[in-house]
Structure 1
Amino acid sequence: MADAPDCEFCRIATGDADAYRVYEDETTVAFLDANPAVEAHVLVAPKRHVEDVFTTGVSEAVFATVDAVAEAFRADLGADGFSVVHTTGPLIGTVDHAHVHLLPRWEDDDLSLALPRKPLDEDRAELLAERLRKSTA
């Protein structure tokens, strides 16, 4: 099913590269990250080579797999919660095959996914909300 033979994630999807698989269906594969940020850090990827989860018709399948693995984090690992990270475009990193990072979380873990914050500018917020409402209508 994978269509980019030079892509590491395509090779994992076809079974031509080793990975510790935790879930698989017709459309997606979930496997342990080879360089985990936390124990049980999982990558969820479509089997088909695509660069963006959201513009290629695979988001529903990918996030159904995220849901299944997140439930396993709770049921089997006793995780207190989980974090989901996905990046698109040129910011994607070293692998151009779309994927989602799923990280189990515990109250006492030392994982930091902090985002710098500043107060919302109300004038700018209204303009942004208006633009986004028009685009999503």
Structure 2
Amino acid sequence: MRGIIFSLALVLASPLLADSNLPPSYWAYRQLPDPEQEAQAQALMEELRCLVCQGQSIADSDADLAGDMRDLVRRRIAAGEKPDAIRAWLIDRYGDWISYRPTAKPIAWPLWAAPIILLIFGGAVVAGRLKRKAR
């Protein structure tokens, strides 16, 4: 009986082990002292997707990894690095998916062309029906 209770306690306690015991990164919840640099950091953090939440930017997410990424962005901007260079480094590391900014790579061209093609097709269908109705 003790074994069953012990096993049950371990199973119920496992979600507690998923939380980190580490303190948050220094700049995760602090702002940079320079307002201009903080504005750059905030703008960049709004454009980066949280790898844990996936539906939130790292600016909005409370995930530990998002806090680490906010810390990374603020440290690099405080060191004088440009936001575009930081975004490029993160895209190289995590892929295009991390950025909310659409890519202009040839692989994405069909996605950009699809709405235009659908509008042209729809316009042709409507014009054909109006011609037929006029007869």
Q: Which has the larger radius of gyration?
A: 2
Quick check: which one's helix share is greater? 2
| TM-score range normalised by the length of the shorter chain | under 0.3
TM-score with structure 2 setting the length: 0.28
Which is strand-richer, 1 or 2? 1
